[in-house]
Amino acid sequence: MTDGGLNTAALRGSCTVVVGCQWGDEGKGKVVDVLAGGAHVIARYQGGANAGHTVLLGDRQFILHQVPSGILHPGKRCLLGNGVVVDLVQFFGEIDRLAERGVDPRGRVGLSTRAHVVFPYHMALDHAAEEAARRKIGTTGRGIGPAYEAKTGRRGVRVADLLDRRRGAERIARGIEWARRRLRDLGADEARAGTVEEAMAVAGRVPEVATDVGREIARALAAGKRVLLEGAQGTALDVDHGTYPYVTSSNTTAGAAAVGAGIGPTAIDSVVGVVKAYTTRVGNGPLPTAFDEAMDERVRELGGEFGATTGRPRRCGWFDAAVGAYAARVNGLTGIAVTKLDVLDTLPEIRIATGYRLRGEADIPFPATAWELDAVEPVYETLPGWQAPTTEARRLSDLPRNARAYLHRIEELVGTPIAMVSVGARRSQVITEP
Ligand code: GDP
């Protein structure tokens, strides 16, 4: 947006990563949906059914947890990479529901043979651990954490294992045994781990979708096709770079896109960071720019800030440029997409946190610990609101002057050019022109 225009170079190149730059729910689904029009292959690289992307197509709303949102564009190949953990029951359920609603996913969805599978016993462990925990993480209870733990503990079951029913059943039986012991330790009923038969319920459908995702992507790029790598959750929830321990169990940041899709980092041309025009957080953990109660309720209603997976109300706050600048650095952003600008249309004044102060010290780097982040004082700057609708704007120049000034300030503070602005949930409500 520098020099009064949008810098859309970040949206070009053969291989683009779209990554969330706050605590998730930034509107990545919408941004991926817009960019998917120009891509041939869309792949997810981490996370599981805890991510919920909401995409509006005409008047129809689709909530996708596992299948990449690119599926709503006819003819696109949609892949789940090795870095993803997949709940097969939900995955095939989503495919079947899409088919029922007239979106034909057959032959268009591929699942990495190296991806790990989430079974009912992982969900039982997730619930039991959260029930027993003194300090709750606020997980979505989908078994994602225990499935990633099994992966790094070398106890996991991969998609490829299920292609051989006997071997698959053996590995699942060992997983269930382990889960029963752990449930016992947590004081929970070990029968909640379920049976091998239950865990194998949809294993017979795996050959429909199993593929070598890294190989497919490499071939697509070699053939000059465009590939979009779609992240789930956000930078501040990354297991290494987020507000540990209130984080998700995978690396959400752009570096993980290469690992989780099965390609080398040099294959990636651009990284688009998605930021909401304000901040939200679902689940527990610090949120330095949290609104006061009245404002929290107002913006939650205006922005419809309720979790797509759990329906939980999201906590809301002012735009936090300290998080934005940190995300720009750890993701190597080449451009940002600002979403939900329209939600701020009625506010008389808008604040931006330009940085943090901690124990009297200014300009501290983004803290490594949740307790420090809890203790920081945001340093605010107040900008005048625009108090006019932005939902019909299709060019940057259509936006009120104060809205452009707000975007410009975000861009300056994050240190990355704006490539796209979203002004409504619909596919058409997007600005990619100066
Ligand atoms: P994601 O997981 O990052 O894709 O985010 P979610 O899907 O959980 O949340 C984004 C929500 O905001 C969805 O309900 C979208 O339809 C909606 N949304 C996306 N972009 C915009 C926008 O620019 N304005 C408004 N009002 N809603 C938007």
pLDDT above 90 (res 298): yes
Q: What is the pLDDT of residue 44?
A: 95
**pLDDT tens, residue by residue, 77-88:** 999 999 999 999
**pLDDT tens, residue by residue, 7-21:** 777 777 799 999 999
The residue whose CA has the least distance to atom 23 of ligand 1 is 340
How far is residue 154's CA from residue 124's CA, in Å, rounded to a whole number? 19
Q: What is the pLDDT of residue 277?
A: 98
Instruction: Give buried/exposed letters for 101-123 (b at 16+ CB in 10 A, else e).
Output: eebebeebbbbbbbbbbbbbbbb
Q: Is the CB of 127 under 6 A from ligand 1?
A: no
The answer to whether 30 and 20 have CB atoms below 8 angstroms apart is no
| CA distances for 322 relative to 106, 108, 303, 329, 415, angstroms | 43, 40, 22, 11, 11
How far is residue 372's CA from residue 369's CA, in Å, rounded to a whole number? 5
Of ligand 1's listed atoms, the one at least distance from the Cα of 274 is 3
pLDDT above 60 (res 1): no
| CA distances for 16 relative to 10, 70, 346, 354, angstroms | 8, 14, 34, 28
The answer to whether 42 and 78 have CB atoms below 8 angstroms apart is yes
Residue 305, CB-side half-sphere exposure with 13 Å CA sphere: 28
Q: Determine what percent of the chain is predicted with pLDDT higher than 90.
A: 79
**pLDDT tens, residue by residue, 206-228:** 999 999 999 999 999 999 999 99
Q: Is the CB of 425 under 6 A from ligand 1?
A: yes
The answer to whether 227 and 220 have CB atoms below 8 angstroms apart is yes
pLDDT above 80 (res 342): yes
DSSP per residue, 129-140: HHHH-SS-----
How far is residue 211's CA from residue 206's CA, in Å, rounded to a whole number? 10
Residue 222, token pair as written in the block: 């070699």
pLDDT above 90 (res 49): no
| CA distances for 307 relative to 304, 349, 405, angstroms | 9, 26, 30
**pLDDT tens, residue by residue, 135-190:** 666 667 889 999 999 999 999 999 999 999 999 999 999 999 999 999 999 999 99
Q: Which of 23, 54, 56 to mutate to test the pocket of ligand 1 (most atoms within 8 A of CB)?
A: 54
Of ligand 1's listed atoms, the one at least distance from the Cα of 63 is 7
Q: Which of 148-157, 328-337, 363-372, 399-408 has the lowest mean pLDDT?
A: 363-372
**pTM of full prediction above 0.75:** yes
Phi and psi at 328, nearest 5°, equal: -60, -40
The residue whose CA has the least distance to atom 6 of ligand 1 is 25
Average pLDDT, the chain: 93
CB-neighbour burial class of residue 375 (10 A; exposed 0-12, middle 13-18, buried 19+): middle
Long-range pairs for 135-138: beta carbons < 8 A, 24 or more residues apart: 135/245, 136/284, 137/245, 137/246, 137/247, 137/283, 137/284, 137/285, 138/246, 138/282, 138/283, 138/284, 138/285
Pick the more confident residue, 63 or 34.
34
